Amino acid sequence: MLIIEDLVKCYRGSTRANDGISLHVEAGEVVGLLGHNGAGKTTLINQVAGLAMPTSGTIRVSGIDPVAEPAKVRRMVSIMPQAHAPLAGVTPRQATRTLARIRGLDKQAARTRTDELIAALDIEAWADTTGEKLSGGVRRLTAFAMAAAAGPGRVVMLDEPTNDVDPVRRRLLWEQIRELANRGCAVLLVTHNVIEAERSVDRTVVMASGKVVAEGTPAQLRSRAVGEFRLELTAATDGDLPKLPDHITAAGPMMNSTRRLVVPLDSAAASPALAWAQRLRDEGHIDEFALVPVGLEDVYVQLSGDEAALEAEKGAQGEPLVA
């Protein structure tokens, strides 16, 4: 439903915000777009929505080119922007119904879909309160309802939808994101919440410095992690960070700060590492520890390390500025 090929976006006087991106999102699929600040995620979705002009490459929304036919594509695409929706003087119910009507639902269908979303997101208590009196989280949920208020079979792009939202409503929001896919939409969502994304997306695309550096299901990406477990230690407030003893071998590079040590481990090393950490805690050398299976977040951090290397390489080579 959404096909992007070799997309490049160069802002005037800036580096390449998108540098040869290719990706696709099918109807019924939720794809999570992960990446550090400035990786180029918002730039990508703005081009799909026809809000920014690609420098080169192609975008097709159900076969339609947003550059050649921006008005047509805008009718097929919903976007929940990163910035708060302007809701001054407008209530969540009014804003959601209006968007549903603009996107072609008749009066009754718009009313029904709006009520359905307001109930599903548990924001009925504020449904008739004007925007300036709403909390950040309710405004964010309203922006989601506005993006979701349409018929089936659309491309829906959500830029950091769960920001500001409390943990209980975040779950409701993820359920509704999944529901959009069940209704035949292709959902592309930008998030920094890797742990939530791991549970909720079908596929993940990791961006760094304007490029796609990894893509796959959460399970496929997890399989790229170094080690099978991660041991995390927090040194006692007045103590030094302990050194890994010789009989425990780290599966890859360790990360340490003044008080925190993170060690990737293969399964054979997990049990001795656990015994060591328990002893350190019993003797008061550390405040706490955790031994956890590796997840998407570990892979993401690992890829971010690669990103730093990429940046350093770019700096050394002198990235050309393209207007």
- Looking at 5, 6, 14, 267, which residue binds ligand ATP (CB under 6 A)? 14
Residue that is written with structure tokens 């008739």 in the block: 128
186-190 vs 30-35, strand pairing mode: parallel
Separation between Cα atoms, residue 212 and residue 301, nearest integer Å? 15
- Cα separation, 19 vs 296, in Å, equals 24
| 4, 10, 21, 40: residue in contact with ligand ATP (rule CB under 6 A) | 40
Q: Which residue's CB is nearer to ligand ATP, number 256 or number 304?
A: 304
CA gap 291, 149 in Å, rounded: 43
The amino acid present at 226, given as its one-letter code, is: V
User: Angle, nearest 10°, between helix axes 136-148 and 107-120?
Assistant: 140
- Chain positions 69 to 88 lying near ligand ATP, rule: CB under 6 A, are 82
53 binds ligand ATP (CB under 6 A): no
Question: Distance (Å, rounded) from C-alpha 183 to C-alpha 223?
Answer: 30
Distances (CA, A) of 221 to 44, 157, 298, 300: 22, 22, 10, 9
Does residue number 38 form part of the binding site for ligand ATP (CB under 6 A)? yes
Question: Whose Cβ is closer to ligand ATP: residue 250's or residue 322's?
Answer: 322
- Considering only CA atoms, which of 159, 188, 154 is closest in space to residue 77? 154
Q: Smallest gap, in angstroms, from Cβ of residue 52 to ligand ATP?
A: 7
Output the smallest distance, CB 29 to ligand ATP, in A. 21
Binding flag, residue 35, ligand ATP (CB under 6 A): yes
Q: How many residues bind ligand ATP (CB under 6 A)?
A: 12
Q: How far apart are CA 142 and CA 177, in angstroms?
A: 14
Q: Which of 1, 4, 10, 17 binds ligand ATP (CB under 6 A)?
A: 17
Please state the closest distance from residue 14 (CB atom) to ligand ATP, in A: 4
Q: In one letter, which amino acid is 57?
A: G
- Is residue 271 close enough to count as binding ligand ATP by CB under 6 A? no
- State the Cα–Cα distance between residues 305 and 1, nearest whole angstrom: 33
11 binds ligand ATP (CB under 6 A): yes
**Interface positions, 82-141, toward ligand ATP (CB under 6 A):** 82
Member of 2, 23, 31, 39 binding ligand ATP (CB under 6 A): 39
Q: How far is the CB of 93 from ligand ATP (least distance, A)?
A: 29
Stretch that binds ligand ATP, among 41-49, 168-176, 282-290, 297-305 (CB under 6 A): 41-49
φ, ψ of residue 65 in degrees (nearest 5)? -90, 115
Task: Name the residue nearer to ligand ATP (CB basis): 13 or 245.
Answer: 13
Binding to ligand ATP, residues 151-180 (CB under 6 A): none
What is the rounded distance in angstroms from the CA atom of residue 210 to the CA atom of residue 158?
Answer: 19
Which residues of the chain form contacts with ligand ATP (CB under 6 A)? 11, 14, 17, 35, 37-43, 82
